[in-house]
Amino acid sequence: MTGVIVLAHRQCDHIANGPVFKLHREPLATITSLVTGFTGKGTCVLPNLDAVSWNYARLFVKLPLNGSINLDASLSRDTCALTKQQRILLALRYWVEWNKLSDVYADAQFQVESVTMSTFERAWCSYCETHNCAFNKFTRVAKRPVARYGHDPSKSLITSWQELFQMDRAACCAAIQLSDSYGYAYDRQIYRLCETQIPILTSRWGF
């Protein structure tokens, strides 16, 4: 999923807690991961942790927005028992709201599929020109991240932009706008539909 990294251990003189770096992952892959399990394992084998994750997430973002899912009731039981459609809707809205929130604080953003440690280091040093940027020698290598177990990038997607649009047009259009700004591909046909409806559909999302 999308991650935010605060490099507080290497503070810059002009930034109290270090710059905030944000890592993006392909949107549909992220939503698929959230649907299959919000546990860090990519599965729902730990249902209690899934419920804890959603409970923690709603401390920062509104879940859900239209009340179609009684999340309070769900958290008192196994959230993994929600229907596929309910989990997709929950994941979609979380993805939109979390990215809106984290974009406010992000000093730099990267695609996890293409970022390297050397790229990351250069970005960090650009925020700390007067600071010693002697990073660990391993960051000098243009090494890319490797997916953890359960987060295989080749895993089949369980949803599509068409399905998301049918489930929640406003959230889908907001997600497409964000995906475009992050440099990810999206469904052009759905985007054209959003173009005629975005002023109305995304007004409540702060765009």
pLDDT in tens, 13-41: 444 566 788 999 999 999 988 988 888 77
Q: Which strand (E) or helix (H) includes residue 109?
A: strand 108-111
Eight-state DSSP code of residue 69: S
Q: Is the pLDDT of residue 3 over 70?
A: no
Average pLDDT over residues 112-139: 69
Q: Where are the domains of the chain?
A: 3-127+148-158
- Provide the pLDDT for residue 164: 93
Question: Worst-scoring range by mean pLDDT, 151-155, 174-178, 186-190?
Answer: 151-155
- 134 or 178, greater pLDDT: 178
Please name the residue that has the structure tokens 């039981």.
Answer: 77
Eight-state DSSP code of residue 156: P
C-alpha 39/C-alpha 20 separation (Å) is 24
pTM of the model: 0.77
- Provide the pLDDT for residue 6: 46
- Of 50, 52, 27, 56, nearest in space to 37 by CA: 50
- Provide the pLDDT for residue 7: 45
Contact 133, 7 (CB under 8 A): no
Q: Is the pLDDT of residue 186 over 90?
A: no
Q: What three-state secondary structure class fits 93? A: helix
Greatest mean pLDDT range, 101-115, 138-152, 154-168 = 101-115
C-alpha 201/C-alpha 207 separation (Å) is 10
The string of DSSP codes covering 144-161 is: PP-PPTT--TTSPPS--H
- Provide the pLDDT for residue 52: 85
